[in-house]
Amino acid sequence: AQSVTQLDSQVPVFEEAPVELRCNYSSSVSVYLFWYVQYPNQGLQLLLKYLSGSTLVKGINGFEAEFNKSQTSFHLRKPSVHISDTAEYFCAVIQNTGNQFYFGTGTSLTVIP
Amino acid sequence: DTAVSQTPKYLVTQMGNDKSIKCEQNLGHDTMYWYKQDSKKFLKIMFSYNNKELIINETVPNRFSPKSPDKAHLNLHINSLELGDSAVYFCASSLDRGNGYTFGSGTRLTVV
């Protein structure tokens, strides 16, 4: 069975400060990993994904994430956040032979002016 | 051109009513999904269809029934609505597991 854990339900951060949103997963087989962002009253949008290759992946809006197989983690980072980054962020995983995505419980990022 | 479109965007209805939510995707994806997002933002998968065939049917009340007339459409019909059904329902589609989902903008259902 798979599971996805987002360790922080809420992360407040000041504007222009760096941020890291944590995601850990459990799976006995290889997985694909994703981060989605949900702005208020909108659907989820894909930020970035890891399928294979380089463990550091870059996404939209200046976000990046690093896949760490030994720690089964896929943490999301941004060196300098903007007010517009205030949103809910979801980590998701799917087995590379599976047909269902598993989502974490979300992290609410609030950027403080 | 909206990739995954859901209608209606908002739905307010009384307990006991029957309602439907429609979803259409113009991406040519084979797989479509329905998710329920509760007030704490938790996403729970409900159903998935691959080319009109039901492949995921999670434990949801049988008052919820999905219908896929073709691979571009996946509708959700809910009978005898209850207060606990109030949530945001998201439709999504997927080309393959490596591309992730494309989500619709959601339908906010409020049962009063």
Q: Supply the mean pLDDT for chain A.
A: 93
User: Closest Cα partner for A101 from B93, B25, B26, B21?
Assistant: B93
User: Closest Cα partner for B29 from B86, B104, B83, B85?
Assistant: B104
Cα A19 from chain centre: 12
Cβ contacts of B97 on chain A, cutoff 8 Å: 32, 94-96, 98-99, 101
Cβ of B97 within 8 Å of Cβ of A43? The answer is no
Q: Are B31 and B101 in contact (CB under 8 A)?
A: no
pLDDT tier at B96, thresholds 50, 70, 90: confident
Cβ contacts of B105 on chain A, cutoff 8 Å: 42-43
Q: What are the tens digits of pLDDT across the range B55-82?
A: 888 878 999 999 999 999 999 999 999 9
Once rounded to an integer, what is the mean pLDDT over residues A106-111? 97
Q: What are the tens digits of pLDDT across the range A8-36?
A: 999 999 999 999 999 999 987 888 999 99
Cβ of B41 within 8 Å of Cβ of A100? The answer is no
Q: Please determine, for residue B53, whether its predicted confidence score (pLDDT) is greater than 90.
A: no
* Side chain identity at residue B98, one-letter code: G
Between A100 and B49, the higher pLDDT residue: B49
State percent of chain A over pLDDT 70. Answer: 99
CA–CA gap between residue A78 and residue A85 (Å, rounded) = 10
| pLDDT in the model for residue B1 | 66
Cβ contacts of B104 on chain A, cutoff 8 Å: 43
Closest alpha carbon within chain B to A34: B100
Which candidate from B92, B100, B106 shows the least CB-CB separation from A49?
B100
Cβ of A32 within 8 Å of Cβ of B98? The answer is yes
Cβ of A101 within 8 Å of Cβ of B100? The answer is yes
CA–CA gap between residue A65 and residue B70 (Å, rounded) = 37
Q: What are the tens digits of pLDDT across the range A42-95?
A: 899 999 999 999 999 999 999 999 999 999 999 999 999 999 999 999 999 998
